[in-house]
Amino acid sequence: MTTEQRNELIDELVNRTKIRRSYFEALSDSRLLEEIDKLGLIY
């Protein structure tokens, strides 16, 4: 995943969850995708 894609995903997660951005930035790509799956978001 590119840095731009990753940042867009993090933006979306922060907007939907209100969890701090730093939490998502610390996750690996695969963990980020798991978080998206949990929320039922489409990637």
Indicate the pLDDT class of residue 41, thresholds 50, 70 and 90: confident
Q: Please, where are the H alpha helices in 1-43?
A: 3-17, 21-25, 29-39
pLDDT over 90 (residue 20): yes
Q: In terms of residue numbers, what domain contains 18?
A: 3-39
Give the total number of structural domains in the chain. 1
**What's the confidence (pLDDT) of residue 23?**
96
Q: pTM for this one?
A: 0.78
**What's the confidence (pLDDT) of residue 42?**
67
Identify the three-state secondary structure at position 2. coil
Contact 31, 9 (CB under 8 A): no
Residue 32: exposure state from Cβ atoms within 10 A (0-12, 13-18, ≥19): buried
